[in-house]
Amino acid sequence: MKAPIKIFAGSNSEHLAAKIAEAAGLNVGESSIIRFSDGEFETAYEETVRGAHVFIVQSTYPPTDNLMELLLMIDAAKRASAYKVCAVIPYFGFARQDRKDRPRVAIGAKLVANLLMAAGVDRVMTMDLHADQIQGFFDVPVDHLYGSSVLLPYVEELKLSDLVVASPDMGGSKRAHAYAKYLHADMAICHKRREKANVVGEMTAIGEVDGKNVVIVDDMIDTAGTITKAADMLKEKGAKSVRAIASHAVLSGPAYERIENSSLEEVIFTNSIPLREESDKIKSLSIAEIFAKTILNVYNCESISSNFIL
């Protein structure tokens, strides 16, 4: 007999989990979390998961408590005799710590991978990792999905003439090239010199942007310092309009204020992370359907490659 499928939500992704479950024709399972006065918390399933194929939806932003909650939910499912446990992590926290870029630092992404495997996860499903090689940190299957599945159709619907796809830095040039190739557009690169973490120094553009409609592509926007500085610089160089698309709306610190006061016409995200504030410039596109399809494909032992555009 085939194992039943069950979807559960971490407290940070309840809305997204409900949308995913609805798109998959399922209900979100009953679970609870008890919080103690000292900050400790305890997770529990309020229905049986024995013999079930369990999918736990939880983006790890902010990373610390949400990651710990996910680990506890995985451990609880394994101890309750779940058949398989898949961690569905639309936004994978600590992904920026994928290598030793200077002496005496941790590789946070590898540590998170070790923690998830130690908790007993059988599979990980995520989207637009900051660095693709993080998939290799795991000894279990990793399904790496892409926000382009919803972001690219949105850009196509804008029907922008003289379109240029821009990368906000050299590191994102591969992603920008893929978008530009798909959209049959030219490409530009914003070259920046970062003074320190979350602080951008000088910036210039490589490529022709004068009189063009520019779309900046990135995997995440954190404090929005890079993206807004790039937008202002591109407008100064004669760009007709500047938009930005990114998978993950981290948007910490002064991000909302910077976006509002920038030259950006609009910023489009997926709903991998819930927005903290409303803004006329910020739009969120749902990734529930692509995750629902992938979950059902995995459950039915089917290929997931048809869910990708790029």
Does 171 score more than 90 pLDDT?
A: no
Question: Is residue 44 within a helix (H) or strand (E), and if so which, with residue range?
Answer: strand 41-45
Read off the pLDDT band of 203 (50, 70, 90): confident
Burial class (CB within 10 angstroms; exposed 0-12, middle 13-18, buried 19+) of 158: middle
**DSSP states of 277-303:** S--TTEEEE--HHHHHHHHHHHHTT--
Active site positions, annotated = 192
**Dist. CA 273–CA 262, nearest whole Å:** 22
Question: Which tens digits make up the pLDDT trace of 68-115?
Answer: 999 999 999 999 999 999 999 999 999 999 999 899 999 999 999 999
Read off the pLDDT band of 194 (50, 70, 90): low
**Dist. CA 308–CA 146, nearest whole Å:** 7
Question: Which tens digits make up the pLDDT trace of 117-127?
Answer: 999 999 999 99
Does 165 score more than 60 pLDDT?
A: yes
**Dist. CA 251–CA 257, nearest whole Å:** 10
Mean pLDDT score, 3-12: 97
Read off the pLDDT band of 191 (50, 70, 90): confident
**Dist. CA 268–CA 261, nearest whole Å:** 16
- Residues of the chain with pLDDT > 70, as a percent, come to 97
Answer for the pair 309, 146: CB distance below 8 angstroms, yes or no: yes
Give the angle subtended at the CA of 292 by the CAs of 112 and 115, to the nearest 5°. Answer: 10
**DSSP states of 200-269:** EEEEEEES--TT-EEEEEEEEESSSHHHHHHHHHHHHTT-SEEEEEEEEE---TTHHHHHHTSS-S-EEE
Read off the pLDDT band of 224 (50, 70, 90): very high
Q: What is the 3-state secondary structure (H, E, C) of 152-200?
A: HHHHHHHCCCCEEEEECCHHHHHHHHHHHHHHCCEEEEEEEEEEECCEE
Please report how the helices 148-158 and 173-183 are oriented relative to each other, as an axis angle in degrees rounded to 10: 50
The CB density around residue 241, as the number of other CB atoms within 10 Å, is: 18
Q: What are the structural domains of the chain? A: 5-145 (3.40.50.2020), 148-285 (3.40.50.2020)
Burial class (CB within 10 angstroms; exposed 0-12, middle 13-18, buried 19+) of 162: middle
Pairing mode, strands 282-285 and 84-89: unpaired
